Amino acid sequence: MRNKIRPRVVVVGGGTGMPVLLRGLKDLPIHLTALVTVADDGGSTGRLRNELEIPAPGDIRNVIAALSDAEPMLLELFQHRFTIGNGLSGHSMGNLLLAAMTSITGNFYTGIKEISRVLNVKGNIYPISNQSMSLHARMTDGTVVSGESNIPLANKKIERVFLSPQPVLPLPNAVQALKNADLVVIAPGSLYTSILPNLIIPQIDTALQETQGKVVYVCNVMTQAGETTGYTAADHIQAIRDHIGDNCVDSIVVHNEPINRNVRDVYAEENAEPVIYDTDRLLEMGLQIIESDIINHSHTTLRHDTRKIAKLLYSLIDQS
């Protein structure tokens, strides 16, 4: 271990999967950094992004909430979403606060730092970029779909995703965090719309390839209609390799217990099914496979278990 006092763990991602990992990791004796996507364009986030020309605040807001040690009522206020009011309806209080702090400080990242301080956040939160960006997907039939929220709705096989306007500049702190990491965790989440928008940014892809720390991908438990229909675990890795090269992921964490039939039936209605982990192909890719029961069995929707996954990831640091 290169950093013997507090190993440096960097988690990359967005969406609903990332906060689950962070809640478990924040209480461990590590130096924790979250690198978060800002390509979201739906709901409150999309409206604020378009009206104020700021990076998308929604995923940042959820990460702040996950890493905060503030009073529960304050966090509830931060996560509150207005349901009435012509102008406020649909907006999250946290998104509005991030937008306001960006206006006050003149800088999105500075705004995040100030709100993180007020909410007693553990660790560092870096937007993957300090600029507003749009996500596009080129499909295998040659069509291009623009907008993070529109891509899954097209229900076509995705060949490649890319960002505009070019060049997209990474936050320098994010690049440095990857280079200095003892462990880099690519969080579970929507592969093409939450994970890859981070990885394809210039310098981020290079930093991932050059980091001396171990890079582990926590694979999704279920496929996602419109993004990864029919994908195996190796297909997820191949998509990452197709975008940023072969020498980027060292290990993959997969769930190895059967999914309850009732839960599978619920997901089947959304054209989602358990991700098969094709061991032989993963080994041919040179990956270390880490198998474990990593889901929370107390919910009807599948979520990674905060404590299980944190304990497993921490054990990987000790081996690195």
Q: Using one digit for the tens of pLDDT, what is the confidence trace for 72-105?
A: 888 888 888 888 766 777 778 988 999 899 999 9
Residue 222 lies in a domain: yes
**273 in the same domain as 155:** yes
**150 in the same domain as 71:** no
pLDDT per residue over 229-275, tens digit each? 999 999 999 999 999 999 899 999 999 988 888 888 888 998 999 99
Number of Cα atoms under 13 Å in the Cβ half of residue 148 = 30
* 37 has pLDDT over 80: yes
pLDDT per residue over 179-227, tens digit each? 999 999 999 999 999 999 999 999 999 999 999 899 999 999 999 999 9
Residue 3 lies in a domain: no
The pLDDT of residue 222 is: 93
**149 in the same domain as 119:** no
DSSP secondary structure code for residue 254 in this structure: E
Question: What's 159's domain CATH number?
Answer: 3.40.50.10680
Report which secondary-structure segment, H or E, holds 75.
helix 72-79
Give residue 13's domain range.
8-37+128-319
CB 57 within 8 A of CB 37: no
Of the residues 74, 105, 123, which one is the last residue of a structural domain? 123
State how far the Cα of 39 lies from the Cα of 57, in Å rounded to an integer. 9
Of the residues 123, 144, 173, which one is the last residue of a structural domain? 123
**49 in the same domain as 26:** no
The pLDDT of residue 3 is: 45
Task: Please count the structural domains in the chain.
Answer: 2
Torsion of CA 231, 24, 252, 173, to 10 degrees: 100
Write the CB contacts of 130 (distance below 8 Å, at least 6 apart in sequence).
Answer: 55, 107, 108, 109, 169, 171
Say what angle helices 58-67 and 108-118 make with each other, to 10 degrees.
30
The structure's pTM equals 0.92
Residue 1 lies in a domain: no
**85 in the same domain as 142:** no
Write the CB contacts of 136 (distance below 8 Å, at least 6 apart in sequence).
Answer: 144, 145, 146, 147, 161, 162, 163, 164
Of the residues 98, 123, 148, which one is the last residue of a structural domain? 123
